[in-house]
Amino acid sequence: MCVALPGKVIKTNGNLATVDFNGNIIQAQAGLVEVNEGDFCLVHAGCILQKLNQEEAVDMLELFQELEDLQR
């Protein structure tokens, strides 16, 4: 039930955002996080839970370097 899907915000209107999931367009509540047009975000049960943190995603590479070091 905790399914959440990533989509792209294509329009905002107050606490509502229009989110595109590869062509499926839905209206989502944006009351839990501030989003802007163009943001990627995670939507659960019609509500945006979080927006994508691109910088942190890149840091995954560092994490895997650490894991590799543990193997040695």
Partner 1 sequence: MITLETIKDYLKKYDGEELTFMEVCGTHTAAISQSGITEILSDKIRLVSGPGCPVCVTVASYIDKLVSLSMEENTCVATFGDMLRVRGSEKSLNDAKASGGKVILVYSPMDVIDIAKKNTQLNYVFAAVGFETTTPIYSLMLKQIIEEKIENLKLLTALKTMPKVIDWVCSVDSPINGFIAPGHVSVITGSDYFKELALKWNMPFVVSGFEAIDLLNAIYALINYKDKGEVLNLYPAYVTDKGNKAAQKQVEQYFTSCKSAWRGIGQIEDSGMQLKEEYLKYDAGSQNLIEDSKINEGCCCDKVIIGTINPTQCPLFKKVCSPETPQGACMVSTEGSCYHYYISNRKR
- Using rule CB under 8 A, residue 56 touches partner 1: yes
32 residue type, one letter: L
Judged by CB under 8 A, the number of residues near partner 1 is: 30
- Using rule CB under 8 A, residue 25 touches partner 1: no
23 residue type, one letter: G
- Using rule CB under 8 A, residue 45 touches partner 1: yes
Nearer to partner 1 (CB atom), residue 13 or residue 63: 63
CB of 11 to partner 1, least distance (A): 18
Contacts of 27 (CB under 8 A, 6+ apart): 16, 17, 18, 19, 46
